[in-house]
Amino acid sequence: MSDTEQDMKQQLIRQALEARKRAYVPYSKYPVGAALLTGSGKIYNGTNIENAAYPVTICAERVAIFKAVSESDLDLRAIAVVTKNGGMPCGSCRQVMAEFNPDLRIYIADENGDITQETVLKDILPSYFGPKSLVRE
């Protein structure tokens, strides 16, 4: 990995750590921060936002992705996710990631910013359902 790639990875982790501080988690007390890098070079941050009606809670990863998509910045390259213990993205987040880039790099870190896992989306979501899965006539 080049110094530039290493620097970008560390920047993503730092921004995810910062985003995590803004999580709204009155119920689970499990703050998550995410930082998403796009092909334009822009970084979109996200944090989990809980709700008393639990099903409408949204994960940090999807907040960051939806922010990028809402700006028409669809070339997702890498995402850093920070939790207390290095927790992985949930299935819903993985599916949203697959919509845009099955080769998305994923960096998982704990609350100290220590990377616990590096992976690629298609390795943690094999046989994903994506845009090419739809039959077109």
For residue 66, give the DSSP letter: H
Split into its structural domains, the chain has a count of 1
Per-residue pLDDT reduced to its tens digit, 20-73: 999 999 999 999 999 999 999 999 999 999 999 999 999 999 999 999 999 999
pTM: predicted TM-score of the whole model, two decimal places: 0.94
Helix (H/G/I), strand (E/B), else coil: 87: coil
- Whether the per-residue pLDDT at 135 is higher than 90: the answer is no
Task: Give the chain's mean pLDDT.
Answer: 96
Q: Which residues, including other chains, have CB under 8 Å from residue 54's CB and lie 6 or more apart?
A: 27
- Report the distance separating Cα 63 and Cα 22, nearest Å: 13
Residues tagged in the binding site annotation: 48-54, 59, 90, 93
Contacts of 98 (CB under 8 A, 6+ apart): 121, 122, 125, 128, 129, 130
Please list the active-site residues: 61
CATH of the domain at 23: 3.40.140.10
Annotated binding site for Zn(2+): 59, 90, 93
Cα torsion angle, 66, 72, 76, 77, sign: negative
Binding site for substrate, residues? 48-54
For residue 127, pLDDT over 80 is answered with yes
Residue 3's pLDDT is 83
Nearest-angstrom CA–CA distance, 35 and 82: 9
Q: Which residues form the domain of 66? A: 3-133
